[in-house]
Each structure stands twice: as C-alpha cells, then as structure tokens.
Amino acid sequence: MTDLRIERLTGDADGDSALVRDWQHAHNTTVPADSAYLSLDDVRERAGRNVLEVAYAGDVLVGCSTVRAPKEGVATVIARVLPEHRGRGHGRALYERGLATARALGAEHIETVVLTSNEAGLRFAERAGFTVEVDRYRLDGDTVDWVELRLA
C-alpha cells in the first residue's frame, strides 16, 4: 500500500476549494444514488458539521471519508475509495482513521451506512467489524436501500 496523505476540510470555503472539489468528486463517483449527489455548497455545509477528509496517494486522489459527530452516543464513519484504487488498503486506512476520530469525539457506538447494491462495500464493512444491522431505508428517488451497520 502506498502511504496516504489525508487532509481534513476546515470549512473555509476559500482555503479548502481544491479539497472541497476533490471530496465532492470522490463522494459523487463512489455513491451512485441520485439522492446522494452533492454540490460544492452541500460539501461545504457538511464540512461545517462533520469531519470530512480527502485521501491522496502522492498527488493522486484515492478517496474521501466522513465522520458524523456522535448523536446520543452514536457516531457514523464512512470511507469511500475510488474504484481504480480499491484493494490496496486505502479503505482500511480511512476507516481506522475515522474510527479514531469518532472515538476522540466521544462515540460510545460507531455505525456506517452502505448501499445494499454495493456488495464489495458491504463485504468490506463486515470484515471491518460492522456486523449488526440497525436499519434499512430508501431515500426519495432512490431505487435501492441503504443499510446502517453497527460496529460489533
């Protein structure tokens, strides 16, 4: 695995412009659901309430992550790796960093969300220890369900 350089969005619209674009690209490329498409303004808004990070191998964008701060003790950690960079340990590195961030924010429990159509993502989450199904839901306009999984 190539060493990753991971950068956090600060929510500074001017200072983060390249990071915001890269995070948006990684998110929108890896999450095909229409309801999940995010504009640059959407990403900036999320950066103000979540921990958003972008991962690079050298100068090449490989993925992004989201850590949603704990609500009622439960934080959500999501790692996304661009298809051409999968299988190299980048997802594991993003998840481990996300888990550490969630714990530092005081999470008592950690969850993730995956589209049920993303079989590789579901297998990855299960291998990472997310084995307890909490919920399934479908957002307006989607044709597939999302599944919330809790870290066992």
Q: What totals of helices (H) and strands (E) does the chain contain, helices first?
A: 4, 7
Q: Which two tokens stand for residue 7?
A: 């950068």
Q: What is the CATH number of the domain that holds 59?
A: 3.40.630.30
Structural domain count, the chain = 1
pLDDT > 90? residue 33: no
Distance CA 121, CA 80 (A): 9
Q: Is the dihedral of CA 112, 29, 139, 118 positive or negative?
A: negative
Domain extent, residue 12, equals 4-151
pLDDT > 70 fraction of the chain, expressed in percent and rounded: 95
Q: What would the two tokens of residue 100 be?
A: 């550490």
Q: What is the pTM of this model?
A: 0.91
- What is the 3-class SS of 21-65, one letter each residue? HHHHHHHHHHCCCHHHCCCHHHHHHHHCCEEEEEEEECCEEEEEE
CA-to-CA distance for 20 and 14, rounded, in angstroms? 10
Summarize pLDDT for 80-103 with one digit per residue, the tens.
Answer: 999 999 989 999 999 999 999 999
Q: Taking residues 27-43, report their average pLDDT.
A: 86
> In the prediction, which pLDDT does 96 show?
95
